[in-house]
Amino acid sequence: MNVMEAIAARRSIRKYEDRPVEQEKIQKILESMRLAPSAGNGQKWKFFAVVDPAVIEKIGSVCLGTPDWIKTAPAILIGAGYGPGIMTCGHDTSSVDLTIPMSYASLEAVELGLGTCLIASYKQEDVCGILGLDDSWRIPLIATLGYGAEAPDARPRKDAAEVTQVI
The mean pLDDT of 133-154, rounded to a whole number, is 93
How far apart CA 46 and CA 91 sit, in angstroms, is 20
CB-CB contact of 80 with 125 (8 Å): no
The mean pLDDT of 108-123, rounded to a whole number, is 95
Q: The pTM is what?
A: 0.92
How far apart CA 45 and CA 37 sit, in angstroms, is 11
pLDDT digits (tens, 9 = 90+) for 17-34: 999 999 999 999 999 999
Q: What is the pLDDT of residue 92?
A: 78
How far apart CA 35 and CA 52 sit, in angstroms, is 25
Most confident of 22-26, 39-43, 96-100, 152-156: 22-26
Fold of 3-163: NADH Oxidase (3.40.109)
Which carries the bigger pLDDT value, residue 86 or residue 146?
Answer: 146
Give ∠ CA 73-79-85 in degrees, rounded to 5.
155
DSSP 100-135: HHHHHHHHHHHHTT-EEEEE--B-HHHHHHHHT--T
Instruction: Count CB-CB contacts under 10 A for residue 132.
Output: 6
pLDDT digits (tens, 9 = 90+) for 45-81: 999 999 999 999 999 999 987 678 999 999 999 999 9
Beta strands across the sheet bearing 45-50: 45-50, 75-81, 142-146, 115-119
